[in-house]
Homo-oligomer: A and B are copies of this chain.
Amino acid sequence: MNFCSACGATVNLRIPQGDTALRHVCDACGEIHYQNPKLVVGAVAVWGERVLLCRRAIEPRHGKWTLPAGFMENKETTAEAAARETREEACAEIAIDAPFSMINIPHISQVHLFYRARLLRPEFAAGAESLDVALFDEADIPWEALAFRSVSLTLQHFFDDRRAAQFGFHSADLDISAPLTGNGT
């Protein structure tokens, strides 16, 4: 960030009075430009026993499989974000069941949130950001070709909970020092 988005003056990086962190501050108009973590929201959407996965047509992790998910937009709820992303990436309509996992990835300032959900109909197709979309039985999940650790962790919890016939809410923090798959998310 170099310029103030409000007035166009050059911004300075300093700790504002009464604050404890460095911020981009505009000394021309007084605006403080805060930067905050982003929510990435998605769904573990099932049809019967099988889970819907998308093969990514975009970077990062082009060609790898993922749960439908993406950046939450202003003015929507987390459940609406999960349904929208599933619609955009997998051309599928879902009913949301419950929040299922929340995974912090502090080194990239993201929080990933996944819902449990059900496909309303067994109809899906590759959206613009997907190369392919398919339903997978647990035994066929391409664990080595999953795009993100938040996705593999969520799927592991999902199958564990389903076996135990008791779905919980799972939270975890991913550490950059932990073994990476791909770009660490």
Contacts and interface: CB of A to CB of B under 8 A. Distances in A.
Interface of A: 1-8, 10-11, 18, 20-21, 24, 33-39, 71-80, 88, 98-99, 102, 104, 106-107, 109, 111, 128, 168-169, 171, 173
Given A78-B111, A98-B171, A73 B21 contact: yes
A171 to B, nearest CB: 5
A80 B173 CA distance: 11
A5 B34 contact: no
Contacts of A80: 106
B2 A5 contact: yes
Nearest to A84: B20
A88 B21 CA distance: 13
A63 B42 CA distance: 38
B2 A36 contact: no
A62 to B, nearest CB: 16
